[in-house]
Structure 1
């Protein structure tokens, strides 16, 4: 996934195609959210024959890469970010924001960048927290089952 992130033709998106850029981004987030919710249902329903741990982990990573891509594309607009110039910068900013560390070396300065950062925080709080909680529940259940004779 990380290799694909660095190879994606992100130059096709941006201020010259704002509607396409936002539609692809929102559609990506919606697909990840639906995928996470389905995997959460699989865990809660204790369905056999599925691999929700791998899917949840993959979808969480995909979320990080979606926001990184959006930040990178948005940073090409003048005045949106301070210090964000490369895809590595965008990935770094996404992870730092997800971890709520906020070193301050990269910061959203434009209104659109700030809204996108708020969206990442809310999306992470709702969907990634639910995914991580479900993943923890699943793994804890497996450990308990293996410990029983």
Structure 2
């Protein structure tokens, strides 16, 4: 039986492989076909992992571990999807300043998610600003969902019916 940590690790590795291996500019060279094949395998693992996770989430009722794992998987996929989107937008002149590589895009996505915003990479074009605004809205919804899941888990743990009374001693 797989643990939630192992499943999240599989999602992380598969999503990371898709992110770093998927070729953005298809050129007819042998190296690109290797990248396409590796990205396809990683994408298949990611899809299977995510569909299994969705099935577990729907069967979980009030199981907090499944909900938290689903939120982690969603975060992994969303961060890498926003990063890829930013990288594609950066190919167009005048959209981003300082965003040149996949790691730059990942760094920018994470700093936006964490609301740190160092300013070394920033959106200047309208399309880039719309995309960043979309991520900011996602962040707000995601944080709200995470607070709801964690808050309901805490409430379940603190319910009076879960508190056990000490056994009465007979005389």
The one of 128, 132, 135 aligned to 2:149: 135
Task: Give the deviation of 1:135 after TM superposition.
Answer: 3.4
Give me the TM-score of the superposition, normalised by structure 2: 0.59
Match of 1:22 in 2: none
1:140 CA displacement: 2.7
1:8 to partner: Cα distance: 2.0
Tell me: CA distance 1:100–1:141, structure 2 relative to 1, closer, same or farther (3 Å). Answer: same
Residues matched between the structures, number: 121
- CA distance 1:134–1:69, change in 2 (3 Å): same
Query: Which runs of no fewer than 5 residues in structure 2 stay unpaired?
Result: 1-14, 27-49, 165-171
Which of 105, 120, 123 is the equivalent residue of 1:105? 120
Distance between the aligned counterparts of 2:102 and 2:149, measured in 1?
Answer: 29
Q: Unaligned 5+ residue runs, structure 1?
A: 13-31
Deviation string 1:115-142 (CA, Å, 9 cap, x unpaired) is: 111111012112x123311332354357
For residue 98 of structure 1, report the CA deviation from its aligned partner.
Answer: 1.0
Query: Equivalents in 2 of 1:129, 1:42: separation in Å?
Result: 23
**Which of 110, 119, 129 lines up with 1:114 in the alignment?**
129
Please give the residue correspondences for 1:1-149 in structure 2 after superposition, counting only pairs within 5 Å: 1-11=15-25, 46-47=61-62, 51-126=66-141, 128-137=142-151, 139-140=153-154, 144=158, 148-149=163-164
What CA RMSD, in Å, does the superposition of the two structures yield over aligned residues? 3.1
TM-score by length of 1: 0.67
